[in-house]
Structure 1
Amino acid sequence: MSGARAAGRETRVLPSYAAEAAEVPFTILHWDESFARDTTWNEHSHPFHELLWNERGASTAAVGSRVWTITPALGLWMPSGTPHSGSAPAGTWCRAAFFGFGAVNPISPSSVGVEITPLLRLLLERLSGTGLSAGSRALTEAMVLDVLVPSPRELLLQVPSSALLRPIADAVLADPADRRTLADWAAHLGVSARTITRAFHAETGTSFARWVAAARAQHAVTLLTRGWEIDAVAEEVGYRSASAFGAAFRRTTGLTPGAFRGR
């Protein structure tokens, strides 16, 4: 691993490996790190399966044009050999579990969100310690594999890349409070609203309005995990009231902002 630091930011360069058997001391190997500065990772891949989650704060992981937000409540499963990049702001405490390739069956053939339930967290925490007997470790690993399942909820954003939609995506990601409507963007880009609608469905699988709501929810999660008040988060991500923000956030994440922050 190599790293470069500039202006309080660190970039880490990791190698890429194909999915293959790799020597690890256990079936599930734990890793964690608390970051003192904003940190990014280049696109890389591991020879083992990986589960990412956070003890504190929100980070992101990108697989192609798909970007997940990772929190203490929502993790991300990535099969071995999956090229991905990532970033974590200063203050984030990231954790990961590496699953030996060939030792376990992947829970999904592609990257997918995982709910970090209290039970799963407790089991993973037990594996991070020392002094477990071989029998206790094997039993705990088996329990992890039994409760580890894809979540119906995930903070996933499919970022469009076409020349038509990229200006919209760039503007919303830079400023989630941007309140320009579909009609506003159609007039700005000189196309019909129907053209933008069709393009969004083709590239992201969702509508313009739902995509904007998902982008706002991802940004809101980062602010909530940093301790921002709900009213302030609502204003920062473009909602006129905390109640409107709460309703939109719940439609996207399945939780109210208060419940999410509590978890």
Structure 2
Amino acid sequence: MHELLWNDAGPSTLRAGPRTWTVTPTIGLWLPAGTVHSAAARAGTVYRATYFSLEMAAESARPLPTEPVSLRVTGLLRELLLRLGDESLNEHSRRLTETMVLDVLAPAPHQFLVHEPTAGLLQPIVAAVLSDPSDARTLRDWSRQLKVSERTITRAFRAETGLGFARWVGSVRVQRATTLLADGEPLEDIAEAMGYRSPSAFGAAFRKLTGTTPSSLRN
């Protein structure tokens, strides 16, 4: 079965291999059949999973993702998914609703995932940033500390994640911030926790990385 994960309240995370995605009331996740994964949610999170058979998906008029992908949970998509939870639906109505769900699926503007590199060289950086996203050390700082060139660090990040150092740090901050936003934390506190000098600086960085505003991801 393919799986579509979405939350009624609060944030959760899903990990598949070295990649971790965020799921919130406005960001869902399409999980293709056969994807080995683990998931975690804070107390109070209300999460849902909607399943689609391989046969049903094969009949979709649009090609469906073959890899996990973050999805926009629009008002229409939410209503359709809630309808699928109605046990009184007859088979015809259920199939029609499933078809509509698969037809309106749309990727989120940003994938809200963190790809954790495994290269030994990068482990001090990865451990520091995952432990404290506000860590202010720059690429130059890490170059000096690890006694390698900035280019070597950048190449190692790009080889595993497709991102440079700064962009990777930004992806960690976005994911953590998204979780805090879904929890309703004040913007001032989130900005400080992510290492930004002000909520406006945090908002500008968030928009640059995701194409949307922090407030649009609140529950």
Normalising TM by the smaller chain, what interval?
over 0.9
Find 2:106's aligned residue among 149, 152, 155: 149
8 Å CA contact 2:109, 2:210 repeated in 1 = no
2:43 to 61, 77, 90: 90
Offset at residue 162 of structure 1 (A): 0.8
Count of residues in Structure 1 that have an aligned counterpart in Structure 2: 215
RMSD of aligned residue pairs (Cα, Å): 1.4
- 2:159 maps to which of 196, 199, 202: 202
Task: Report what 2:90 is aligned to.
Answer: 133
Residue 80 of structure 1 is matched in structure 2 by 33
Shift in Å, 1:149: 3.5
Matched residue of 2:121: which SS?
A: coil
| Alignment correspondent of 1:256 | 213
Moved over 6 A (4+): none
Determine the structure 1 residue equivalent to 2:134. Answer: 177
CA distance in 2, matches of 1:142, 1:194: 48
Establish whether residue 56 from structure 1 lines up as the match of residue 13 from structure 2: no
Conserved in 2, the CA contact under 8 Å of 1:49 and 1:79?
yes
TM-score computed with the length of structure 1 as normaliser? 0.78
Q: Secondary structure at the match of 1:249?
A: helix
User: What SS does the aligned partner of 1:150 have?
Assistant: coil
Question: Does the CA-based 8 Å contact 1:108-1:150 persist in structure 2?
Answer: no
130-139 vs 92-101, which deviates more?
A: 130-139
Q: Looking at both structures, which has the greater relative contact order when contacts are Cα pairs under 8 Å and sequence separation is at least 6?
A: 2
CA distance in 1, matches of 2:193, 2:140: 22
Identity %: 54
**Contact (CA 8 Å) 1:107, 1:150: kept in 2 or not?**
no
Which residue does 1:100 correspond to in 2?
53
Distance 1:233 1:151, change over 3 A: closer
Structure 1 stretches lacking a partner, 5+ long: 1-47
SS of 1:206's partner is coil
CA distance in 1 between partners of 2:88 and 2:188 (Å) = 46
Greater share of helix: 2
1:118 and 1:233 map into 2 onto residues whose CA distance is 26
1:23 aligned partner:
none
